[in-house]
Amino acid sequence: EAQVTQNPRYLITVTGKKLTVTCSQNMNHEYMSWYRQDPGLGLRQIYYSMNVEVTDKGDVPEGYKVSRKEKRNFPLILESPSPNQTSLYFCASSFVRGGYEQYFGPGTRLTVT
Partner 1 sequence: TQLLEQSPQFLSIQEGENLTVYCNSSSVFSSLQWYRQEPGEGPVLLVTVVTGGEVKKLKRLTFQFGDARKDSSLHITAAQPGDTGLYLCAGYSNDYKLSFGAGTTVTVRA
* Residue ranges that bind partner 1, judged by CB under 8 A: 4, 35, 40-45, 59, 90, 92, 97-98, 100-102, 104-107
Residue 83 sits at φ, ψ, to 5 deg, of -55, -30
**Rounded least distance, CB 107 to partner 1, Å:** 6
Rounded alpha-carbon distances, angstroms, from residue 37 to 55, 65, 71, 91, 107: 20, 17, 24, 11, 9
Pick between residue 13 and residue 102 the one whose CB is nearest to partner 1.
Answer: 102
Q: If you count them, how many residues does the chain have?
A: 113
**Rounded least distance, CB 94 to partner 1, Å:** 10
**Rounded least distance, CB 40 to partner 1, Å:** 5
Pick between residue 17 and residue 23 the one whose CB is nearest to partner 1.
Answer: 23
What are the start-end ranges of the H helices in the chain?
none
- Exposure of 72 by Cβ count < 10 A (0-12 exposed, 13-18 middle, 19+ buried)? middle
Q: Is 47 helix (H, G, I), strand (E, B) or coil?
A: strand
**Rounded least distance, CB 16 to partner 1, Å:** 28
Pick between residue 14 and residue 41 the one whose CB is nearest to partner 1.
Answer: 41
Pick between residue 31 and residue 64 the one whose CB is nearest to partner 1.
Answer: 31
